Amino acid sequence: MTDAARSGHAIIADYVKQLDGSPGVYRMLNANSEVLYVGKARNLKNRVGNYARDYGHSARIERMIFETASMMFLTTRTETEALLLEQNLIKQLKPRYNVLLRDDKSFPNILISTEHDYPQLKKHRGKKTEKGAYFGPFASAGAVTRTLNQLQKVFLLRNCTDAMFESRTRPCLQFQIKRCAAPCVAKVDRAAYLDLVNDAKRFLEGKTTSVQADLAREMTVASDAMEFERAAALRDRIKALTQVQTAQGINPRGVSEADVVALHLDHGQACVQVFFIRANQSWGNRDFYPKTGSGAEEPEILEAFLSQFYDDKEPPKLILLSHPVENPDLVEDLLSDRAGRRIELAVPQRGEKAELVENAARNARESLARRMSESSTQNKLLQGLADAFDLDGPPSRIEVYDNAHIQGSDAVGGMIVAGAEGFVKSQYRKFNIKSAAGANSDDFGMMREVLTRRFERLLKEDPDRKSESWPDLLLIDGGAGQVSAVVGILRELGVDDIAMVGVAKGIDRDAGKEEFHRDGQRPMALQRNDPVLYFVQRLRDEAHRWANGAHVAKRAKTLIANPLDEVPGVGAARKRSLLAHFGSAKAVGRAALPDLMAVDGISEAMAETIYNFFHDGK
382, 538 Cβ separation under 8 angstroms? no
pLDDT the model gives residue 543: 92
The second-level CATH assignment, the architecture, of 397-558 is 2-Layer Sandwich (3.30)
pLDDT in tens, 441-492: 778 888 888 999 999 999 988 888 877 889 999 999 888 888 888 899 999 9
pLDDT the model gives residue 527: 87
pLDDT the model gives residue 2: 47
Q: Is the pLDDT of residue 316 over 90?
A: yes
Q: Of 328, 323, 259, nearest to 297 (Cα)?
A: 323
Percent residues over pLDDT 90 in the chain:
45
Q: How many residues does the chain have?
A: 618
Q: Which of 1-10, 115-124, 382-391 has the lowest mean pLDDT?
A: 1-10
pLDDT the model gives residue 465: 80
Dmax (CA) for the chain in angstroms is 94
257-369 CATH choice from 3.30.1320.10, 3.30.420.340, 3.30.565.10, 3.90.1150.10: 3.30.420.340
Top pLDDT among 372 and 105 is at 372
1 — pLDDT class (breaks 50, 70, 90): very low
570 — pLDDT class (breaks 50, 70, 90): confident
pLDDT the model gives residue 618: 46
Domain ranges within the chain, ordered by starting residue: 3-96, 109-247, 257-369, 397-558, 563-614
Q: Which of 154-168, 346-360, 533-547 has the lowest mean pLDDT?
A: 154-168
pLDDT the model gives residue 510: 57
Identity of the amino acid at 350:
R
- The whole-chain average pLDDT of the chain stands at 86
Peptide bond into 137 cis (omega under 30): yes
pLDDT the model gives residue 345: 96
State which H helix or E strand residue 271 sits in. Answer: strand 269-278
Name the CATH superfamily, with its identifier, for domain 563-614.
5' to 3' exonuclease, C-terminal subdomain (1.10.150.20)
∠ CA 402-545-372, rounded to 5°: 100
pLDDT in tens, 94-139: 999 999 987 667 889 999 998 899 999 999 988 888 899 998 888 8
The CA distances from residue 476 to 244, 381, 450, 451, 482, in Å, are 47, 19, 12, 11, 7
H-state helical runs in 105-248: 141-155, 162-167, 173-176, 190-204, 208-224, 228-247
Contacts of 133 (CB under 8 A, 6+ apart): 111, 112, 114, 201, 204
Q: Which of 10-14, 22-26, 53-57 has the lowest mean pLDDT?
A: 53-57
**Alpha carbon distance 523, 83 (integer Å):** 55
Top pLDDT among 437 and 415 is at 415
Q: Is the pLDDT of residue 221 over 50?
A: yes
Highest mean pLDDT among 104-108, 291-295, 403-407: 291-295
365 — pLDDT class (breaks 50, 70, 90): very high
Top pLDDT among 508 and 350 is at 350
152, 174 Cβ separation under 8 angstroms? yes
Q: Is the pLDDT of residue 199 over 90?
A: no
Q: Is the pLDDT of residue 34 over 60?
A: yes
The second-level CATH assignment, the architecture, of 3-96 is 3-Layer(aba) Sandwich (3.40)
Mean pLDDT to the nearest integer, 55-82: 92
Q: Is it true that 397-558 and 563-614 share their CATH fold?
A: no
pLDDT the model gives residue 254: 82
Identity of the amino acid at 600:
D
Q: 427-439 b/e with 16+ CB inside 10 Å = b?
A: ebbbbebeeebbe
Q: Is the pLDDT of residue 53 over 80?
A: yes
